[in-house]
Structure 1
Amino acid sequence: MFSRLPQAARMGMTTALVISACVVDSVTIAYDGSVMGSVNVMPSYKSYFQITTTTKAVNSTATHLGAILMAFFAGFIVDKRGRRESIFVSAVINIIGAVISGSAQNIAMFIAGRMIIGIGVGLAQTAAGTYVSETTAPKIRAFALGMYYSCWAVGSFLAAGISYGCSQLHPSDWAWRIPSFFQGFAPLLILVIVPFLPESPRWLIAHDRLDEGLSVIARINAGTIDDPTVQLQYREIIDTLNYEKTEGKSLAFQEIFRNAPNRKRLMLALSLAPLTMLTGSNVITYYYGDMLSQAGITSSHTQMEINLILSAWQFVIAVSGSLLAEKLGRRVLCLCSLGLCTAMFYLVGGLTSLYGSGGSQSGVYGTVAAIFLYLGSYSFGLTPLTNMYPPEVLSYNLRATGMGLFTVLAKACGIFVTMVFPFMFKSLGWKTYMINASWNVAFFVFVYFFWVETKGKTLEEIDVLFDGVKHSDAPDLNAVDADEKAIETMVERV
């Protein structure tokens, strides 16, 4: 399909397809979270299922439970069947779940549909992040992985827009059924895209399909199989995978805990779960209705309008962060975002305390502005880093399994948010924001002292940060321009 196109066009098309796969997956996940935030404020939904505080929490957390069930096995499936096939299967599962939840006749059926969606999400999150990190050129990898969760805002925007439009159908049940059915739309696009995607070159090489792996490396780097940069990456991957096969003979779960470098890899990869799920963004995603009500905005139509604008705002800021990730570096991006988030959440709490009664119009506007600033701060760094940093710090042997464990922890944190925060809001009110902002300070300290910087390196070169030695005698990619003689010598040896 791409063989007759110029090299730059082949690279652009391939990169666009790879990014589109992760974008559609991100839209699917984000749509789920945002649609529940919108549906939770619909009178027809509340009356149909007789929603209470408890059932609201259970309905919202059902996808997290399904994702956790799948994530324990997702790493094995992704390593065994391949990254591309796993993405395809996850889309089929999501479509089935959307049909069941949209046609639900009772609360049990609605929860079952959402749990099935969660199973698809658990597989997709493990497969997609692994796939994109391994199937993009090193110079594009940060942007591609950053776009994964940057396009979360697109899913939120679609969910908010569809839900807002369907809210006009009240008191008909279609007000909440149509948004639920639309959860299957983005996965349908995956089914169309996957046949045109290349498989991960690292997965191909690990399964002794060397020629196919080399061809994919050339394709994603807009080069030929004889280009020095292509041969350098090819040699790095072969040497590193041979080392892992020789030194890491145990099962993946055992390999993770086998030595100190692997434990550090896992710790850093898993750190993104609480960093992204417990810093406050999910409180807004799932319970923005409660937050705005506390701030004095009680109209469900006004709440959905605000949610629509918030989604567009988040998308613009998150894309900006993705574009700057390679220049600023992962640590700086995270620290800037986390520091601003902490300050903004304190501000949200303080303004809600002062003006939560809705008596001051300027106070209400100030509270909404603080929420906007918080989400902008979060979207700038934490959103693109969500699926950028974990697959980068994990070596090939650990990547799929580690991403599965990351999904488990992320969804467990999501369950904590959806099950605990409704009751915290009910009993503590504005103090909830103060508590949340305070534990963000601990996250900031952890990132400052423990995170390693991965910008400007191939996945194999990042191993040096943990193992202290490179497992290939190929020069670093940065040496291509600085020392062409070394590259030519390496190519002759290959």
Structure 2
Amino acid sequence: MGFLPEIRGRSLYALMKFICGCSFMMYGYDAGVLGGVLLHKPFLDAIGNPTGVYIIPMISASYSLAACVTSFFVAFVAFKIGRRGTIILGCVVAVIGSVIQSSSYSVAQLIVGRICTGFAIGCISSAAPTYLAETGIEIGDRGPANALNAIMLISGVPLAYWIDYGFTKMQNQPSWRIPIVFQCVFAIISGVCMWFLPDTPRWYYARNRLEEGDAILARLNDLPIYSPEVQQTRQEIMLAIEAELEATASLQWKQFLTMGIIDRTPMKIVRRLCICFWLPMIREWMGSSLMAYYSSVILSGIGARPSLVSLLSGILNIFFALGCVPLYFTIERFGRRSVLLYGAIAMTILITIFTILVAVPPTPSIQWASIGVIFIFLFVFGYAWQGCVWLYCSEIAPLEYRHIGGAATATGEWLMTFLTVFAGPIGLTNVGWKFWIWVVSGNLVAVIFVFFLCPETGGKTLEQVDFLFTNHKLAFKNVDAPDMEGHYPGNEIEEKDKKVEVEHVN
């Protein structure tokens, strides 16, 4: 593993944010790029002009299904290879998948490429938010970092759309192959740069690689290992690990079958991991991927002129991305719970108004009002739920199970995305405006879920979040700091920090 010793402190964290954001931009780009060429004649000619009603939806949905399955299995390997290793693996497979797709001459080859890319995005979406959360040194780091991730993620969708829009003016094979293979740029930048970055200090400590954890923690703080700031963070991490290991003794995996309703673990490990699964699943139920994948279909369905549909679709996705921008500046001020809760309330009102507008007999005024409501809805969506969900789930997952929490988050995201992408166009075609009642119900569920199950995590360290779900507080005694040469008195590192104790204070 090659580190970059000349980059430390805030410069190092800024590079980490950029690399994770770049990998998420690939995620957004890949989610949108195929939609812009699905009806392009050279593309259809290359794959044999399929006529089956389920073939095109299956090509689109195979990506989401592969990401869902991958996210589930990542839970079993991510702790061994680390957050960094999982991201690198995803970038490597993304290059392979995009090359297979861009060279396709059959539906089967295209689906294989989509599955490879889905595998890659499953890895990246499981690990990148956790990587950002665990490398943040200051309490206020996590919110803006994940907001930037969301901005770059959603920006990838309109970027893909406009690249498609430009290239599909041509009527040749490169007109669709170049946009698809372009995602390699994001994967190569992310994978190569991540190779030279360290993993998170919390992962090193959880793997009992204490010296490496100390070195990275000191590097991120740009302070000596023996400094009080580094030692305080180190103590909190080690205490959280000890407390979670104690809580694991009461962990029974059959409790997961109750979706967290029955949770006898002292730190509510089961409930927290179930929240990681359900929160992104609810977000997709609220209409996230439906809007991103089928904006053209939705706009056509509410009466937008064909000459305006392409232009409005591109602008709509830009509004989605712009909605994420204010989150970067306000997430630490307003808090995660407030953003999620009040955002869901606003979105419920907006999508209800939209449903009423598309249900009544159309007039030009009603059609433009419907389009305006959708624009506002997606702006609020980008602000309140697109980035905040990734952040919240990465914060509430316990350290020893954070790889499982990341996998659960991505699994919930991609399972519902698969269902939405596959069933969405069928529902819009066969059910009409009544399909939007399903989306309204998802927004209502979001309000109820956040109000009753999601405590505020803002303004707390990751270790303090552990104790939000209990009636106990985290307390610790002083631990001797290493001397000026970085040596620990009594060889405490090798003896698993015998002086560090966990006290549960009622």
TM-score w.r.t. length of structure 1: 0.88
Match of 1:274 in 2: 281
Out of 38-47 and 407-416, give the one that drifted further: 38-47
Offset from partner CA, 1:47-89 (integer Å, 9 cap, x none): 5533554222211111111112222221232200111121111
Would the alpha carbon gap of residues 51 and 325 (structure 1) be closer, same or farther in structure 2, given more than 3 Å must change?
Answer: farther
Q: Does 2:431 align with 1:425?
A: no
Match of 2:358 in 1: 352
- C-alpha contact (below 8 Å) 2:352/2:440 kept by paired residues: yes
- RMSD of aligned residue pairs (Cα, Å): 2.5
Match of 1:372 in 2: 375
Match of 2:495 in 1: none
Would the alpha carbon gap of residues 334 and 293 (structure 1) be closer, same or farther in structure 2, given more than 3 Å must change?
Answer: same
Cα distance in 1 between the residues matched to 2:27 and 2:51: 23
Match of 2:21 in 1: 23
Out of 326, 333, 341, the position equivalent to 1:335 is: 341
- C-alpha contact (below 8 Å) 1:333/1:381 kept by paired residues: yes
Partner amino acid, structure 1, of 2:124:
A
- C-alpha contact (below 8 Å) 2:323/2:378 kept by paired residues: no
Cα distance in 2 between the residues matched to 1:29 and 1:395: 25
Partner amino acid, structure 2, of 1:290:
V
- C-alpha contact (below 8 Å) 1:266/1:394 kept by paired residues: yes
Cα distance in 2 between the residues matched to 1:190 and 1:81: 17
Would the alpha carbon gap of residues 86 and 345 (structure 1) be closer, same or farther in structure 2, given more than 3 Å must change?
Answer: same
Out of 246, 264, 272, the position equivalent to 2:271 is: 264
Shift of 1:395: 0.5
Cα distance in 2 between the residues matched to 1:277 and 1:24: 22
Cα distance in 2 between the residues matched to 1:177 and 1:253: 46
Q: Does 2:328 align with 1:316?
A: no
Q: Does 2:411 align with 1:408?
A: yes
Shift of 1:173: 3.2
Shift of 1:255: 9.3
Identity between Structure 1 and Structure 2 (%)? 27
Structure 1 residue ranges without an equivalent (≥5): 476-492
Offset from partner CA, 1:193-237 (integer Å, 9 cap, x none): 113322110111122322321232233334333332321111111
Which runs of structure 2 are paired with 1:85-164 in the superposition (5 Å)? 85-137=85-137, 138-164=139-165
Cα distance in 2 between the residues matched to 1:253 and 1:322: 37
Cα distance in 2 between the residues matched to 1:40 and 1:338: 32
Shift of 1:376: 0.4
Would the alpha carbon gap of residues 351 and 174 (structure 1) be closer, same or farther in structure 2, given more than 3 Å must change?
Answer: farther
Cα distance in 1 between the residues matched to 2:222 and 2:312: 43
Aligned-partner SS, 1:168: coil
Would the alpha carbon gap of residues 325 and 17 (structure 1) be closer, same or farther in structure 2, given more than 3 Å must change?
Answer: same
Offset from partner CA, 1:395-420 (integer Å, 9 cap, x none): 01111012212222221111110122
Partner amino acid, structure 2, of 1:425:
L
Would the alpha carbon gap of residues 174 and 462 (structure 1) be closer, same or farther in structure 2, given more than 3 Å must change?
Answer: same
Out of 271, 280, 296, the position equivalent to 1:289 is: 296
- C-alpha contact (below 8 Å) 2:4/2:197 kept by paired residues: no
Match of 1:80 in 2: 80
- C-alpha contact (below 8 Å) 2:278/2:412 kept by paired residues: no
Partner amino acid, structure 2, of 1:292:
L
Shift of 1:41: 4.4
Cα distance in 2 between the residues matched to 1:308 and 1:158: 9
Q: Does 2:453 align with 1:450?
A: yes
Out of 466, 469, 473, the position equivalent to 2:472 is: 469
Shift of 1:323: 2.3
Cα distance in 2 between the residues matched to 1:243 and 1:435: 42
Would the alpha carbon gap of residues 464 and 47 (structure 1) be closer, same or farther in structure 2, given more than 3 Å must change?
Answer: same
Match of 1:11 in 2: 9
Match of 2:167 in 1: 166
Would the alpha carbon gap of residues 296 and 121 (structure 1) be closer, same or farther in structure 2, given more than 3 Å must change?
Answer: same
Shift of 1:245: 3.7
Cα distance in 2 between the residues matched to 1:379 and 1:400: 25
Match of 1:187 in 2: 187
Structure 2 residue ranges without an equivalent (≥5): 479-498, 501-506
- C-alpha contact (below 8 Å) 2:282/2:442 kept by paired residues: no
Would the alpha carbon gap of residues 80 and 470 (structure 1) be closer, same or farther in structure 2, given more than 3 Å must change?
Answer: farther
Match of 2:71 in 1: 71
Cα distance in 1 between the residues matched to 2:142 and 2:102: 36
Which runs of structure 2 are paired with 1:219-238 in the superposition (5 Å)? 219-238=219-238
Aligned-partner SS, 2:387: helix
Would the alpha carbon gap of residues 190 and 155 (structure 1) be closer, same or farther in structure 2, given more than 3 Å must change?
Answer: same
Match of 1:482 in 2: none
- C-alpha contact (below 8 Å) 1:74/1:404 kept by paired residues: yes
Partner amino acid, structure 2, of 1:113:
G
Out of 117-126 and 208-217, give the one that drifted further: 208-217
Offset from partner CA, 1:111-150 (integer Å, 9 cap, x none): 1110110111111111212211111122201111222223
Shift of 1:166: 1.0
Which runs of structure 2 are paired with 1:207-218 in the superposition (5 Å)? 207-218=207-218
Structure with greater proportional helix content: 1
Cα distance in 2 between the residues matched to 1:473 and 1:397: 19
